Structure 1
Amino acid sequence: MIKTRIGSNHDFLQLTADVAEGGPPRFLLAELQLHGLSASVRVVHCYATGFADLAGFFQCHVDDWRGWDGVRTWESLERELKIDASHQHGHVQLRVTLQRFQPDWGNDGWTATGDLTIEPGEQLSQIAQEIKVLATGS
Structure 2
Amino acid sequence: MIQVRVGSNQDFLRLTADSTEDGPPRCLLAELQLDGLSASVLLAQHYATGFADLAEFFQEHGDDWRGWDGVRTWESLEKELRIDASHQSGHVQLRVTLQRFRPDWGNDGWTATGDLTIEPGEQLSRIVQDIKVLVTGS
TM-score for both structures, normalised by structure 2: 0.98
Report what 1:10 is aligned to: 10
Aligned AA for 1:30? A
Could you tell me how far 1:6 is from its partner in structure 2? Answer: 0.4
Alpha-carbon distance, 1:44 to partner: 1.1
2:103 equivalent to 1:99:
no
Q: 1:70-121: CA deviations, max 9, x gaps?
A: 0000000000000000000000000000000112121100000000000001
Matched residue of 2:129: which SS?
A: helix
1:84 is paired with a residue whose SS is strand
Number of matched residues?
Answer: 138
Q: What CA distance in whole angstroms lies between the structure 2 residues aligned with 1:103 and 1:26?
A: 24
Query: Which residue is 2:131 aligned to?
Result: 131
Q: Which amino acid aligns with 1:49?
A: T
Stretches of 4+ aligned residues off by more than 4 angstroms: none
What is the rounded CA distance, in whole Å, between the counterparts of 2:84 and 2:40 in structure 1?
18
Percent identity at matched positions? Answer: 81
> Does residue 42 of the first structure (1) align with residue 42 of the second (2)?
yes
In 2, Cα distance between equivalents of 1:108 and 1:20: 32
Once the two structures are TM-superposed, the CA of residue 51 in structure 1 deviates from its matched residue by 0.4
SS across alignment from 1:107: coil
User: Relative to structure 2, which stretch is displaced further, 69-78 or 40-49?
Assistant: 40-49
Give deviations 1:27-55, integer Å, cap 9, x for gaps.
Answer: 10000000000000001111111000000
In the other structure, the counterpart of 2:63 is: 63
Of 115-124 and 14-23, the range deviating more from structure 2: 14-23
Partner of 1:78: 78
Supply the distance in 2 between the matched residues of 1:121 and 1:132 (Cα, whole angstroms).
17
Letter of the 1:84 partner, please give it: D
- 3-state SS in 2 of match to 1:24: coil
